[in-house]
Chains A and B, each alone.
Chain A
Amino acid sequence: MGPFMSPFNNLLCMLLGISFTVWFTLLLVFIIVPAIFGLSFGIRSLYMKMLLKVFKWATVRMERGAKEKNHLLYKPYSLNGIIAKEPTSLEEELKEIRRNGSSQDLDGSASLTTGPSPSSSEFEMSDTFYFCRRGIESIVDDEVTKRFTAEELDSWNLLTRSNYNFNHISTRLTVLWGLGVVIRYGFLLPLRLTLAITGVSLLVVFTTMIGFLPNGRVKNFLSEKVHLMCYRICVRALTAIITYHHSENKPKNGGICVANHTSPIDIIILASDGCYAMVGQIHGGLMGLIQKSMVKACPHIWFERSEVKDRHLVAKRLSDHVKDKSKLPILIFPEGTCINNTSVMMFKKGSFEIGSTVYPVAIKYDPRFGDAFWNSSKFGMVNYLLRMMSSWAIVCSVWYLPPMSRQEGEDAVQFANRVKAAIARQGGLVDLLWDGGLKRGKVKDTFKEEQQKLYSKILVGTQEDRSRS
């Protein structure tokens, strides 16, 4: 110690102080201020283009490396899967089988049929072939299990979590990957964490402050601005590059906004472009704190855990909300759970029974930059957020679709399916009949009954035809 160290210490402190100041100023100027005003410098799109170039280079090198070593590059599942499934229905198949079988009688040889004419649809032992084949097909590759695992990619995005060809990496690629890790965990992650903390704390503080104002136009205006600003900061905290299409169809007051669900980030993405009333269960901890302060500034719909089971209560609160035209549109995810963004699963009909205008929104993530799907059975929330913040970026497109309402003679389920089909078509997702609840629950027996009904109609139905003719 002594006089020698002091100036050195001072110098160190000064340097640290300066770097912090510079750091925060940059943050403020380039990220927070634009977020407040909803502007953008275009840094993120530049970043995205650069990343794409790097990924392409990495994939090419990997393929070259594989060819040199004469190995087969493991190509992940294409959307078609491992087998070619023929989409013939039960009826078509059975007709075909019978047509082949009945030609035996036309020969006149070894006539085994004594009863009904050969062209009738009676039970044949070969009928089991159809069910057997479908069963084996589903063992080899089924639609549902695919939807609940993350989508597999054709090119590599320098994240080991999505690479199956790790052996083929040359030294150059390994260096690049290492650099990527350093950048992502050393630079991007701390930056994003800072932003996230800033965004969330600003949200809590400002909404609580606004809560003290009397209800009125000023309060609503300020609440809107505060919500948008904080969500925009959060968007930058994830480096989410979002393209909004058809903003003229944005949801209006008194309506319900319906979207497909891939991850909790969906909420941030939608709420940074418009103000919505959120619906959900009250949680404890940090989440609960955020929820409680949000509701001070503008009316969101939070339910206690006990109230969630009561469908009538839920429906009543939702419809009361939409009737009040001064309140914001409700944001709902009818799938009920996170799907991996290659398809849209069955929409629960609850939100479609309320009878107000529905504004469908399709969200499609670009998987090349980072997989946004939250596999809640594999990763917890914190783990998930960490992965999100250490990915390169989250790139997605949001399409606002024209509003739809329930038509005459249409019940809630049909309306829900119509909306679902529109969302699937716009987002380029597969429209599936299956229930998102299948992620965890068992198949209801009604599905098996449907198959049995269909088959019996073919058999027994034709008996009635014959008795008529």
Chain B
Amino acid sequence: MAPPAHSSRSPSPSQPSGKGEVSDLKSQLRQLAGSRAPGVDDSKRDLFKKVISYMTIGIDVSSLFGEMVMCSATSDVVLKKMCYLYVGNYAKVNPDLALLTINFLQRDCKDEDPMIRGLALRSLCSLRVPILVEYLVGPLASGLKDSNSYVRMVAVIGVLKLYHISSVTCMDADFPAILKHLMLNDRDTQVVANCLSTLQEIWTAEASNSGEASRERDALLSKPLIYYLLNRIKEFSEWAQCLILELVAKYVPSDTNEIFDIMNLLEDRLQHANGAVVLATIKVFLQLTLSMTDVHQQVYERIKAPLLTLVSSGSPEQSYAVLGHLHLLVMRAPMLFSSDYKHFYCQYNEPFYVKKLKLEMLTAVANESNTYEIVTELCEYAANVDIPIARESIRAVGKIALQQYDVNAIVDRLLQFLEMEKDYVTAETLVLVKDLLRKYPQWSHDCIAVVGNISSKNVQEPKAKAALIWMLGEYSQDMQDAPYILESLAENWDDEHSPEVRLHLLTALMKCFFKRSPETRKALGIALAAGVADFHQDVHDRALFYYRLLRYNISIAERVVNPPKQAVSVFADPQSSEIKDRIFDEFNSLSVLYQKPSYMFTDKEHRGPFEFSDELGNLSTEANVSAQKVEADDKDLLLSISEKGDSGFPANGSAYNAPSYDSSKSLSASSTSSDLVILETGVLHQASPSLAIDDLLGLGLSTTPAPAPAPPLSLNPKAVLDPGTFQQKWRQLPISLSLELPVSPQGVAALTTPQALIMHMQGNSIHCIATGGQSPNFKFFFFAQKSEELSKFLVECIINTSSSKAQLKIKADDQNSTQAFSVLFESALSKFGML
């Protein structure tokens, strides 16, 4: 488990608390506010710079809001910019004060300098304070009609910002229609591009509740508009070109002539210096020709050179993204790149992630004609100083061996690896030889001769050890020493930490026993005894099962444990072809890099931030995480102990960092790092609340929470409430009690990790559903439930560490018991040292 995200690296300890400095700044700003002395702008500039640098390092300077606004009456552009930046950052938390800024921003929107008009309008729209939207409409409307394209460009994006604050206001002002007009008539291409992206977003969002909006959205894909944009595409900025190309990729041409026209028009985009434009163009080409097999093949030929250049000329990060896409293409057309394999040779200086993808490419393009060269190259990496790449190279050789029919030369190479006497090389090779033997049993003699010479003492990695033991069991009739090696392993049962190895040892001894029973009897006895006493459930069960099976009937046992096997013809592909097609449809998107269709990762990500109301702010649900983890763990376990299943091999085949639900580390990190965290309150709570929370937070605390306090009011320690219901309730219920409490200095100190407080409240049967904010403002949402009833209490608790105050808002189903609950809540807080 990772340590909580608030590690020593967080900048807070090195920073001044800022209190003294901030009040200094405040008085200095006051002095300057009314001054008209010469040079006052310079002193202001220094002060503003200081304020913003504090803001940047995370000190709260929101208390200076009033003074900053007072000082903002200036003609100096830099001062204005700094002021806009400041205002934009704090307006959302100080809506009342933001009203003060409206005046000067509106004035600046009418400045004669277009730069200032634009900047002011941008800042005005970036305030994002819902109560101020009425002040936005006027400046936006005149901004859209401004004579200067810079202002219009800003205004168009401003409309989108307005839409996100208040869609109704935006629609009422009829802005979309104005944008549509601008999009079709404006001279400036950046204005057109901004209109396009804004309209796309607005119509897509509106489409679900308005038929007209969905028609408008579809109209964006109409032939006249697409042609209008395509004909001017060279005038657009490179990023706007990406936007247009993305739109074109969704367009369905009416006939093949149209397809060729579009491709001719866009062909030179493949030569663009910006890789994003090139990839977007390639997507258009691939999408347009999907149904035309011949042309589709020609497209592959055409896009090959630009892609290879992108790989070899860009920064490593760019190479990575391009290689991800190349890999996708290669899987669909392996022949295409089979003569260009040298482009995927790894260079010594390249970062790991590029080398790894290149190895996958080499594996994918290998065929009869180039296997020799590729394997020779891979073998050179195996002897390289870079150990992770050496491992990956050996795996790559193994994969090639498994996909080729002529494995003759490769087997020799693999066996040479075993003679290199490097423990990691030996380990990787053993795993591969095992897989190879499962597919090509005819090679057993050659392999066994070499494998037999390996001392099991030199093999430490569980996977490799398991592979060696499997071979010892499977080919015990051919290996002279097999029973004795297995026996010495069985004797050292307690030293073997990996359950996977112990499971394999049991099975191997059984197989050996059937073939050479006199020599193995003793070892098997030791292993079964140790296995039955093993603390690991699976090992215990398997040992017991074997034991009973042997007692029942030895020949039946042999038929169960060691039946005649058929060679594996094809190892299972972890990805279905349906999913691959889906990823291909999402060419030029993140799903290619994650090797997952985007619905598999973006959906659940989205639910949090976009559905929740402003009141709870920017939330993200973690609800699926634990379930996913359990599933992943299960799968891992199945894979690691299955020895006959065909799916074992590709378990570590993927080079990509898929969204990280498979590791417990990210799990703990997730719950501490996200902006606002919903603690898992569903299923887990019912099972064992404290443990679930422990696990999620990764605090490693094992103390059981104190029992809930006795009457007058007792709370249900296992209360359950899902975030959605919480929100609904929070909206419906009136505030039954609101109070402000002073917070003690110890309380402030303890809040460096809000989790501690959450744990503590949990111990008092008050559950946290969401937390957020950052120093000095922490926000918590708690809930609790009466022990015998369904009636619930909801609490919003805002703790400001700089003013040492806590504000509580309590809402309750049962208003009468609010007072009792608040006493409980306060006493819980004070037990924590808060009050």
Partners in one complex: no
**A residues near B, CB below 8 A?**
none
